[in-house]
């Protein structure tokens, strides 16, 4: 498996208060790997509304300003629902690395959504590393992906 996202563009990341701690650690992990980050907040553990961070993250991916996105909230449902309102966004909720692998291989997901209240930080980082290193298989899956947009 090899990295297929455009490394010349930053990775977009956003989180609400439930994902703030993980976001901070994930940014450090990605920086260690040599990635640039566009951080769309939140910047503290104070209670906030997840759409305020999911929309700008998804917009940056939608506009091809960033290579892909990572969103983190308590269940990851809210950020996934919000991001998937954007044209061309395929946000997948992943709670284990095998799900992240299939989300990339079969769905060509361009935003990874992580449920901070249901996975450990180590699992979250494994999920991200798997997502990063799994290419889209194309082929029969491309025809399905082409049918996603309304």
| Identified catalytic residue from 55, 73, 86, 94 | 73
For residue 70, what are the β-bridge partners?
13, 112
- Please report the sign of the dihedral spanned by the C-alpha atoms of residue 87, residue 134, residue 112, residue 12: negative
Is 73 marked active-site? Answer: yes
Is 150 marked active-site? Answer: no
- What is the DSSP track for 45-64? SS---THHHHHHHHHHHHTT
Residue 84 has which token pair? 């998937």
| Identified catalytic residue from 17, 29, 55, 106 | 106
Task: Answer yes or no: are the C-beta atoms of 31 and 22 closer than 8 Å.
Answer: no
Give CA angle at 89 (87, 94), nearest 5°: 155
Which residues are marked as active site? Answer: 73, 106
């Amino acid at each position: 498996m090899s990295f297929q996202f455009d490394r010349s563009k930053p990775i977009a990341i956003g989180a609400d208060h439930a994902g703030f701690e993980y976001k901070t650690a994930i940014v450090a992990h990605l920086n260690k790997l040599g990635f640039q980050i566009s951080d769309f907040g939140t910047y503290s553990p104070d209670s906030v509304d997840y759409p305020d961070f999911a929309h700008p993250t998804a917009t940056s991916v939608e506009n091809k300003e960033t290579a892909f996105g990572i969103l983190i909230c308590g269940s990851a449902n809210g950020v996934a629902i919000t991001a998937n309102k954007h044209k061309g966004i395929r946000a997948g909720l992943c709670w284990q690395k095998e799900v992240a692998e299939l989300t990339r291989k079969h769905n060509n997901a361009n935003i990874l959504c992580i449920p901070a209240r249901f996975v450990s930080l180590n699992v979250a980082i494994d999920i991200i590393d798997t997502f990063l290193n799994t290419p889209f298989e194309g082929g029969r899956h491309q025809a399905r992906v082409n049918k996603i947009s309304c």
